Structure 1
Amino acid sequence: MKRGDFHRHAGGWTKWVPLPSTTWTRLRPGRAPLRCPLLTDADLARAVWTATHLPDLFTALRHAVCAHYEGFPEGLDVRAVHIHPVTRDGIPYVGVEFRDLGVALHGTRVVDLGGPEIATQRRIAEEDATDPRTGLDEALIGYWSSIPFDYGVMECSEFELRANGQGWTNLTNALGECITRLTWRCPESGLLELRTEDGRVSRHSYVVTGAPIAAVTFDEPVEFCHQFARSG
């Protein structure tokens, strides 16, 4: 990818890129505009990173989108992929704009989700990039699934904790899915506090390990499971 691949538009620079073959969209022939407000060497490097990692980005945001809609969303239209001139730990911030939805990501980590404007707001990336994560354990931020530990069990649990203190949990079994939206914090080291929208509070002592896979183990279960692996 080089500067000559981009063309100028009112809001910056655009290059059309192929979407991953597994992307669940109506857009044909499977392309979307990759948009950068500037085109410095750093912006070009962020664009290359984003184009290379598009399959990982769409895989990562799928869980959050399904939780948002409380089910699998059929045929979302991808309007654009926005690259913000912001990084943290060398990883760029990207916004994926759908017709009725926007997702802000830091690499494969979901930062925020809401209306289409969420994907275009540089402020969200800047605030996340400088956030000291006060009261949160960075080791817990991200998407976690019990699937690697569900040996012979006909249900699974998952949760996502975001750096803005919001998140969700989901229990899936033969009867369907049960999604709970919540806020979270760590009042002390090794203790996770979850507060649901209806005000229910639960506390869970935990240990995070990194080998052979990144995993967290809770003394008190989260959605009936004690052990989860990080995904993405």
Structure 2
Amino acid sequence: MKKTMFTMLAVMSMGAVQAQPGTPVPGSYGFAPPMPRQIAPAPRQVAPMPRPPVPEYAKGSPAAVLEEGMERLLERLRSKDLNTDLLRNYLDNEVAPYFDFDYMAKSAAGNMYRHMSEGQRIRMAKRIKQQFLSTMVQRLISYNNQTVSVVSQRMQPNARTGMVTTTIRGPKGYPTRLDFRFYKAKEGWKVFDVMANGQSAVVHYRRQFRQTMYMPRGRDQRPVARPHRQLSSGS
């Protein structure tokens, strides 16, 4: 009996009995209450970041004109009966009037434009229009529910020219940035250049123009523009 009591006192004094959390442990007055469990704090709920408000542009502004044209174009692209011929016809009748291809031809030709005949200027503008619309047909015929958003509108101090930035987002891949440069014509706002991810359409046509034109000097040392056979053709 004494040996048993001695053993119990020895074990208790050495701390060999370690109570697990939540189990009763011996105390001075019988058994102590269970130790409270440590509960991990609940994760903080982070409120979602609010989306920036969609900017509203004044009616008749370049951004408003572009939004209206984009909405009609996307509606046409969603139609089930769309094919290449219908799309080309739609772009020629509904989209082309928003662009000034004569202005684009003049910008692409630069100083050489004043040395070109009226027929050469008309053919150059016509060719740029055909190339531009053909590229649009190739890109748009594979439309797959991409969305177009107007991001910003920046106007020059004279309020006669400006640039509207848009983004095109698809189900996969990175968004494409398109910058439309406008100027105020008598008929309203006209697009005279488009930049896709910083690549200018006018600069592209300017490179083409330099490859198809050369300027030999005559007897009076004045530069004379001579058309390439592609520009002299009726196409």
Q: TM-score scaled by structure 2?
A: 0.25
Which of the two has greater strand per residue? 1
Between Structure 1 and Structure 2, the one with more helix by share is: 2
Name the larger-Rg structure: 2
